[in-house]
Amino acid sequence: MDRCTEQIDHLMLLDSPPLTLALSLLALAVTHTNLMDARKGWLLMATARAYLHHHMDDYIDAIMDKMGPTNPELETYKLALLLCGNADEQISYLVENRPAQSVFSFDEMLLVPKPVLGDNPLRHTIVKQSFLWRLMTRRSNSRISSSIQVKNSIQTVKWEAIRQANSDFTAWYIGLPSELKIGDKPFDIINMEIPQDLDTSIVTLQLSYYSEWIWVYGHVYNPDTISNPSTDEKSLVELTHMTFLASLSIVKISEFLHNVEMCKIEFHRLLFACEPLLYLAKSADSHIAYESERALKKAIIVFKSLLQHNLFSPISKEYQVDGNPIAFGERLIERLNTLFSEYNMQF
């Protein structure tokens, strides 16, 4: 963080700062946001947004030309626009869920990354598919959020929105280039061995993919919905099955990354998968219960390794608890222990 701050201070003194300034501001903004310092994150992000607005006239014609040529500078500017939008979404969530500020008002498909001379073909494919996946999830999230209804303190979601997301996610995976898949169908991964030489960028894209399945079905996978007589048996079977498969997939990917490149594990995604698995470990279905408990034991090993190697991004930040400083990692251990103990599992 200190080196990034020094670089920003240097670039701000230049008469015509390069795009590196915007990228550095956004990198620092995201770091402060992850540390829950929304105010500083917003100030840095707003500065980056002002820079991008100021220079938009230099790039807008090339962006609007879908079939036109590209170059590294143009692609960097497009990336900065996307990163700025993503950072503002994160900050908006922290600051009283205020609406995010749009950096641009044109079709986001105009920002689809194009290959430039010297690009690694596989890397470009991963970046492009990551972009398209993010667009799909944003539209899916919007559709689901707009279908949420609250009646008698019980939150319900229209199953049409859930099943549309299921259809969209399945189609996206099947349409992926073969080199980005782990199995021909979305959940083939559960019964497959992940090749040890598989590019970890592909694996992290898949991690994001399965996390989104849990997010979608998580809207309805809760005790209120389970006891809701308006939820038919077929829907209950579907949400249990899909949540189960997605959670197992995330644990499997996390276990793979634990063995080959531990620093790329996103602990919050793994934790997100553990919550439904803890519930499913008590399922009347013996197969689901057994596999859920087995996956949880693997997840615990990964969590402990992450803690031992200090791989939680905000772990060095100090907090005050009852007047005494306590490391983020210690608080996290307490929360994990509490979560698992609620289901009679020891962390």
- Which tens digit of pLDDT belongs to each residue from 222-237? 544 444 444 567 777 8
| 218-223 contact pairs (CB < 8 A, 24+) | 218/243, 218/276, 219/144, 219/148, 219/155, 219/157, 219/162, 220/156, 220/157, 220/159, 220/162, 221/276, 221/279, 222/155
Beta-carbon contacts of 304 under 8 Å, excluding residues fewer than 6 positions away, are none
State how far Cα 84 lies from the chain centre: 16
- Name the DSSP class of 154: E
pTM above 0.75, yes or no: yes
**DSSP line for 71-121:** -HHHHHHHHHHHHHHHHHHHHHHHTTTPPPPPS--S-GGGG-----TT--H
Beta-carbon contacts of 195 under 8 Å, excluding residues fewer than 6 positions away, are none
Q: Residues for the chain: how many in total?
A: 347
Rounded to whole angstroms, the Cα distance separating 248 from 251 reads: 5
Rounded to whole angstroms, the Cα distance separating 131 from 125 reads: 10
Q: What confidence tens digit (pLDDT) does each residue in 34-47 have?
A: 776 778 888 888 89
> For each of the chain's 347 residues, which pLDDT tens digit applies?
778 888 888 888 888 888 999 999 988 888 887 776 778 888 888 898 899 888 888 988 888 888 888 998 999 899 888 888 878 777 776 665 555 555 556 677 778 888 887 788 999 999 999 999 988 998 888 888 888 777 776 667 788 888 899 999 999 999 999 999 999 999 999 999 999 899 999 999 999 999 999 988 876 665 444 444 445 677 778 888 999 999 999 999 999 999 998 888 888 888 889 888 988 988 899 999 999 999 999 998 998 888 777 665 443 344 434 434 345 556 667 777 777 776 666 66
Residue boundaries of the structural domains of the chain:
1-115, 120-311
Fill in the amino acid letter for 96: E
Instruction: Find, among 84, 71, 83, the residue nearest to 114 by Cα.
Output: 71
